[in-house]
Amino acid sequence: MLTDLKTVLKDKKRAVAAFNVYNAETVLAAYQVAVQEERPVVFAFGESYMGLMPIGMIAKMVSYLADMTPIPMALHLDHARSVESIQKAVNTGFTSVMFDGSGLSFDENIRQTKAVVDLVSPCGVSVEGELGYLNPEDGSMGQTKATDPEQARQFAAETGIDALAIAIGNAHGLYRGVPRLDFSALEKINENVSLPLVLHGASGIPDDQLKRAISLGIQKINFNTEIALGAVLAMRKQIEKEGDSLRYEKVIENTIQNIQEIMRQIVEKIS
């Protein structure tokens, strides 16, 4: 069942995995894991992936699969900075969008995020906003900007968003060393904001920290790096093993199986 993010995040006691998808293999793997584990899932298609595959193709694939199950599933445009991209997503059937205004000033982030909410909420589309800055890809913490709990209260109240992505020591990409989430800040943010909280950059965060974060209000957790790297590793091993006799369709089959197993382990550890 394809639905909005609010419905997918209805159970406040459990977190939902948001898996980045960019082709048929990743979409199929995420769908199969959701059905097998009987857990909701978020298909997250990044604005940056729009050059890899037409956004309408992703929407058609996810919609086709979601129609075959009563399990709630959301199709989410991830890290969108362009209103044009957001409008395309809504027009093709996405049920949720993330406007990433984290690089803007606080007041401008509120203004632009609210404008996105006003644009898409009449269409039944959920909006995730972001407050605080995550270093883009290298996992270092030098450029992160933590989410201020008092600003989080104001941001949620004035924008009308449905979920809030926060920065509490998490970062995108591979971490340098063991990440340490700021649970004191998370607890204060959770007290100030009644919305579902979102944790990006979860690949590499220890399981015990993820579980504690869930207990303190994190309801959506984004995963990409370990899935993307795991798929490449699986393909490399298969190519080394079978060499020139390896056919492409066998690579696809093996890739789906490996991605699915990584996703299954993720769903089990956060459920």
Indicate which residues carry an active-site annotation. Answer: 78
The structure tokens listed for 142 are 């030098």
- Output the CA torsion 109→114→120→125 (10° steps): 80
Count CB neighbours of 97 within 10 A: 28
HSE of 121 in the Cβ direction (CA atoms, 13 Å)? 14
CB 190 within 8 A of CB 164: no
| C-alpha to C-alpha distances, 118 to 114, 131, 161, nearest whole angstrom | 6, 18, 10
The structure tokens listed for 166 are 């926060």
